[in-house]
């Protein structure tokens, strides 16, 4: 009896429909609710929209509900900073790298990688299914709101459930993944029944960042950003209302004896002289420095927690900034990227293992000793980078292939190596051909 069967027997007395109860467990319900909440937030449904309207000058006053969807910018920055440029693969086995590169190109794994980091940053978790279809190895990143990974009491990943209900037909679907196969269930027609069973190369890959609350699941970037954004949006909305009501649409106040007579419409130079009276406009003088200090601190805290340099958000003016200064400004972003690489590499290692299993079925032997090289989208001076690589090459401290991998000028190392081989075999480059 394997661990999955032990879990089903222990928790559900061996019920073959155990997965229908598993998806209703409290931990799953809370996590899916958090995913939906984050999705609604990214769609623009923020807390500030709950502000109640009021009355001003005898009429209904529609209060401002300013939405600042800065969270999208934060997530997009971290996504593209690490995986905006295609990754490269490296291994001691050249044939394995060549095979994997072909798989990456055919199945557009650059897009798959971006979807993985995007889902993790938004929801804390991402799930990738590797499969073989139409003669190709492919991957699909599942909808995080439909995914239920199953862990036993010892933290072992033993099963996976993909469950959703069609909003139009009200039909429920279950894809239940086991280590060796996957069952497809549906209740179309009324009763739940097994539609089909397919073989698989294992459970979907569960990517997640590091969380102090649950080591088996991740935490979204929005968890730290939303409270500050809610405060900032509330402050900006109330400040806009205050400017309109207290400064731009002031209330005139006359103090003294009421005069019942009227003044001609074309009157010029008339003066009202009220007995023991006064006339003024009721307006509020806002403390500019206090408001500015509060908003600036909020924005600075947001950038610090989001690991985004303030200069990227146009909060700071810069001129002739040096490369060293830029590295200091990007330090927090680099620290976040370094941590992201760690959990991405765990998932990529599992992806390569699945590649190996599928290729083995076709009689192709490869190794999983493959490392991923990330091309971080950091602002650097290309001339300085090339000069440093050249100096390392002259010292014999770096290979030509490593230089090609680290150069922004070369996007496809294998294709460039092939072009160089052809040039050498033909006796030179374009200059010789033109002579």
pLDDT tens-digit series, residues 414-430: 778 888 888 888 866 54
pLDDT at 434: 47
Q: Report whether 144 contacts 127 (CB < 8 A).
A: yes
What is the C-alpha separation between 413 and 403, in angstroms, rounded?
10
What are the sequence ranges of the domains in the chain? 385-435
What is the C-alpha separation between 23 and 30, in angstroms, rounded?
11
What is the C-alpha separation between 342 and 322, in angstroms, rounded?
29
Q: What is the mean pLDDT of residues 370-377?
A: 90
Q: What is the mean pLDDT of residues 3-18?
A: 95
Per-residue DSSP letter, 410: -
Q: How many helices and strands, by DSSP H and E, does the chain display?
A: 14, 14
Neighbours of 49 (CB within 10 A): 12
Q: What is the mean pLDDT of residues 7-15?
A: 95
pLDDT at 77: 92
Q: Report whether 90 contacts 371 (CB < 8 A).
A: yes
Q: Report whether 218 contacts 226 (CB < 8 A).
A: no
Per-residue DSSP letter, 244: I
Q: pTM of the entire structure?
A: 0.80
Q: Residue 304 has which token pair?
A: 């610090």
pLDDT for 148-185, tens place per residue? 999 999 999 999 999 999 989 999 999 999 999 999 99
Is residue 343 pLDDT above 80, yes or no? Answer: yes
Max distance between CA atoms of the chain, in angstroms, equals 107
Q: Which residues contact 204 (CB under 8 A, 6 or more apart)?
A: 127, 128, 129, 142, 147, 149, 160, 162, 177
């Amino acid at each position: 009896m394997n661990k999955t069967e032990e879990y089903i027997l222990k928790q559900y007395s061996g019920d073959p429909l155990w997965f229908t109860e598993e998806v209703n467990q409290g931990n799953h319900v809370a996590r899916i609710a958090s995913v939906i909440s984050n999705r609604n937030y990214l769609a623009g449904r923020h807390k500030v929209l709950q502000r109640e309207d009021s009355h001003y000058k005898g009429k209904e006053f529609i209060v401002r509900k300013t939405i600042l969807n800065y969270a999208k910018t934060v997530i997009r920055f971290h996504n593209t900073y690490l995986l905006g440029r295609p990754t490269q693969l490296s291994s001691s086995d050249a044939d394995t790298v060549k095979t994997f590169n072909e798989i990456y190109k055919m199945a557009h794994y650059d897009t798959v990688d971006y979807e993985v980091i995007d889902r993790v940053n938004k929801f804390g978790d991402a799930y990738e299914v590797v499969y073989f279809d139409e003669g190709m190895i492919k991957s699909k990143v599942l909808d995080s709101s439909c995914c239920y990974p199953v862990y036993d009491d010892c933290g072992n990943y033993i099963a996976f459930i993909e469950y959703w209900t069609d909003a139009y037909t009200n039909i429920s679907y279950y894809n239940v993944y086991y280590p060796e196969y996957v069952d497809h269930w549906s209740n179309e027609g009324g009763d739940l029944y097994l539609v089909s069973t397919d073989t698989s190369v294992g459970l979907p890959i569960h990517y997640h960042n590091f969380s102090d609350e649950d080591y088996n699941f991740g935490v979204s970037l929005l968890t730290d950003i939303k409270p500050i954004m809610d405060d900032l949006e509330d402050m900006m909305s109330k400040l806009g209302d205050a400017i309109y009501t207290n400064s731009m649409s002031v209330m005139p106040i006359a103090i003294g004896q009421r005069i019942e007579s009227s003044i001609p419409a074309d009157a010029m130079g008339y003066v009202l002289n009220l007995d023991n009276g006064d006339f003024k406009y009721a307006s509020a003088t806002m403390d500019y420095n206090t408001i500015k200090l509060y908003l600036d601190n909020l924005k600075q805290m947001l950038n610090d927690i989001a690991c985004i340099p303030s200069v990227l958000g146009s909060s700071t003016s810069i001129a002739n900034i040096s490369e060293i200064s830029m590295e200091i400004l990007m330090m927090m972003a680099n620290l976040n990227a370094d941590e992201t690489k760690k959990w991405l590499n765990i998932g990529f290692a599992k992806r390569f293992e699945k590649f190996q299993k599928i290729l083995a079925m076709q009689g192709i032997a490869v190794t999983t000793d493959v490392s991923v090289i990330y091309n971080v989208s950091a602002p650097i001076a290309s001339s300085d980078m090339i000069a440093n690589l050249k100096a390392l090459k002259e010292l014999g401290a770096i290979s030509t292939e490593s230089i090609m991998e680290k150069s922004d000028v070369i996007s496809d190392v294998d294709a460039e190596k092939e072009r160089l081989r052809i040039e050498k075999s033909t006796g030179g480059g374009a200059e010789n051909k033109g002579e």
